Amino acid sequence: MSAEATNPEARPEARPELRRRGRTRLDLRRLGRAALLGPTSRDRLPDAIGHVAEAHRAHHPDADLSLLRRAYVLAESSHRGQTRKSGEPYITHPLAVTLILAELGAETTTLTASLLHDTVEDTEVTLDQVRAEFGDEVCFIVDGVTKVEKIDYGAAAEPETFRKMLVATGNDVRVMSIKLADRLHNMRTLGVMRPEKQERIAKVTRDVLIPLAERLGVQALKTELEDLVFAILHPEEYEHTRALIAAHAGERDPLPAIADSVRGVLREAGIAAEVVVRPRHFVSVHRIARGRGELRGSDFGRILVLVGEKADCYAVLGELHTCFTPVVSEFKDFVAAPKFNLYQSLHTAVATPEGHVAEVIVRTRQMHRVAEAGVVALGNPYATAPAAESPADCDEERADPTRPGWLSRLLDWQQSAPDPDTFWSVLRAELAQDREITVFREDGRASGTLSLPAGASCIDAAYAQYGEAAHGCIGARVNGRLTSLASPLSDGDTVQLLIAQDASSGPAADWLEHAKTPAARIAISSWLQAHPDTAKPAATPARAPLSVVGARGGGGNAVADLPDATVRLAGCCTPVPPDAVAGFVVRGGAVTVHRIHCAAVAQMRALGRTSVAVHWRATADCRVTLLAESFGRPHLLADLTEAIAREGVEVVSATVEPPVEQRVRHTYTLQLPDATGLPSLMRAMRDVPGVYDVRRA
């Protein structure tokens, strides 16, 4: 039983005036049962095509129903004599699947393919006949669904089944729409199967199909699938939740009164809106009960406000927050920042003077349609494509212009999955991600965006952008700052990835700890398996840095207001004129000079070091320490020192650290004839091939 049916009078979909406006009717199970059984006896075939046509016309008044009738005739005649395990005529199954999609607002092509989705697999009808009778689009979708259904649903075959389903979905998302409706009807009639088979199918539905329904935005299917799975896998908790809902039905519900108050507020503000109470489904009530313990009367539903325009959403929000007490922590704006599954709404919660707290969802009618039906509401993604792009045969692959970014990622990495078990485990991990981030990439030649799951690191961005070439990634700049590859990314970050020039370089074993995306994990694992000697490098004694020139300088042209004191420029921040500086007396009576914003200044003050005023001499020369980071290559040190010499700068000392992951760090202490030449010197050093960063120590 669907929780949406617990209070049919409160549902907007039960009101005729809303149906006339094209609102989606969501009590799919009740309507499906009525359509299939109707007033006829069970031994007679019900004429459910009439219900399908009525539901279809509610969303598409000008739809050509002749195509549906022809598809129904072919499906009924082809399946005649076949029965389901429940004993019902087999034609009831494609009819029920089609009715589900019609209620969601699917276009005619999808409904036609849905009626025929089992004919090629289970009858004598061929794809050529489907193409000749109904066209290339219907043929393409039927073939996609058929390829999914051809695989046995045994326990060992499940990973390969869903791999094929994933590929078929990538070619046309309408294939997945039909598959989800197909699974929903099968779950409704699962009671005729053995308990162990019910549990296995329910687990697969929970792990893969429900997350896919969420990703595709088909909330109407997702919520009922969740309830059906909940009843099978957690029967005791399901019964407890059903008892809570039944007990609440006999109590006074505060939500209708709150909805009346909201209507009055919006009416006075001159905002045209529909305000309805939507009961929560079973799983939603269970989650709230588990999180809060004792349920309040307003926890069994939410208030839905439907308006005409996007601007009205914010007008409604303003009135609600003005006339009621808002619960600030509950506010979420999915209108300005839609979810990755196209979902758009404003979420808030308000408290009434009586102490009731009600959750409120505000959206336009179009947003509501997309929120409930997801990709089904998008219609035919190829409707505006040139005729030349229509598939010539059913085996042709094509790119869906409405394909979400997450689906493109799944299609990319599934080709690289080494075995079904790996595919299955990473598929479940990927689908468990419920949020996406968008980062901006910049590689010096091109720019664009990358869509990644929340929590992704620079490693994930590297493999998303460069594929296997990311094996040579040695670092990244995030928002202009050099950072490690393990650094997590946030929504809106700008990422510049640094790739080594050595083609033989590869990823480190610890990259797997920081990689979140399947593409990155599979690529890294494959490389490490192919190069076992590099996975765990032998421990080697630390190599001392190479010091080219000795001698560190003293205070340069800094002067301390302390007679006869030795002045030293701090190596941690290397101050140069005209930096603002501070001096501190250290052991031996020497004065160490730091830039005023150096972290050591706060430490010196905390330790009680004596502060000494410091100023710069009138002379223009200065001493500075620079750090240069580069890719390892021959003659790099010679090229850098030559660039420094061309600027007329003296090298006081130079230290080169051993390479780490193809990266080399150089430390130079330099004597400049004029402090104003420092920016020019740093630019000259950055222009040396292989150098990607130069900064003051």
* Residues belonging to the active site: 121-122
Rounded to an integer, what distance in angstroms lies between the CA atom of residue 307 and that of residue 309? 6
Alpha carbons 142 and 145: distance in angstroms, whole number: 5
- The residue to which tokens 């039944």 are assigned: 246
Say if CB 32 and CB 188 are below 8 A apart.
yes
Q: Which two tokens stand for residue 52?
A: 């399908």
Q: What is the Cα–Cα distance from 585 to 593, expressed in whole angstroms?
A: 9
Token pair of 299 as six digits: 């926890």
Could you tell me which residues are beta bridge partners of residue 624?
A: 670
Give just the sign of the alpha carbon dihedral 586, 592, 596, 597. Answer: negative
> Listing from the earlier edge strand, what are the strands of the sheet with 473-478?
447-453, 436-442, 494-499, 473-478, 481-483
* Dist. CA 248–CA 289, nearest whole Å: 13
* Integer Cα distance of 73 and 77 in angstroms: 6
Output helix, strand, coil percentages for the chain, rounded to the nearest 5: 50, 20, 35
Q: Which helix (H) or strand (E) holds 663?
A: strand 663-672
Q: CA-CA distance, 94 to 68, in Å (whole number)?
A: 12
Distance in angstroms (rounded) separating the CA atoms of residues 677 and 672: 7
The H or E element spanning position 155 is: none
Which helix H or strand E contains 540, and what residues bound it? none
Single out the residue of 329, 262, 265, 251 nearest to residue 302, CA to CA.
262
Q: How many residues does the chain have?
A: 697
Cα–Cα distance measured from residue 68 to residue 55, given in angstroms and rounded to the nearest whole number = 12
Tell me which residue of 203, 223, 206 sits closest to 6, measured CA to CA. Answer: 223
Rounded (10°) CA dihedral 360, 361, 362, 365: -140
What is the C-alpha to C-alpha distance for residues 427 and 419, in angstroms, rounded to an integer? 12
SS3 sequence of 231-297: HHHCHHHHHHHHHHHHHHHCCCCCHHHHHHHHHHHHHHCCCCCEEEEEECCHHHHHHHHHHHCCCCH
**653 neighbors 545 (Cβ within 8 angstroms):** no
Residues 6+ away with beta carbon under 8 Å from 372: 24, 26, 104, 218, 219, 220
Rounded Cα–Cα distance for residues 164 and 675 (Å): 65
Beta-carbon-side half-sphere exposure of residue 237 (alpha carbons within 13 Å) = 16
| 499 three-class SS | strand
Strands 691-696 and 622-631: antiparallel
3-state class of 44 per DSSP? coil
Cβ(103)–Cβ(28) under 8 Å? yes
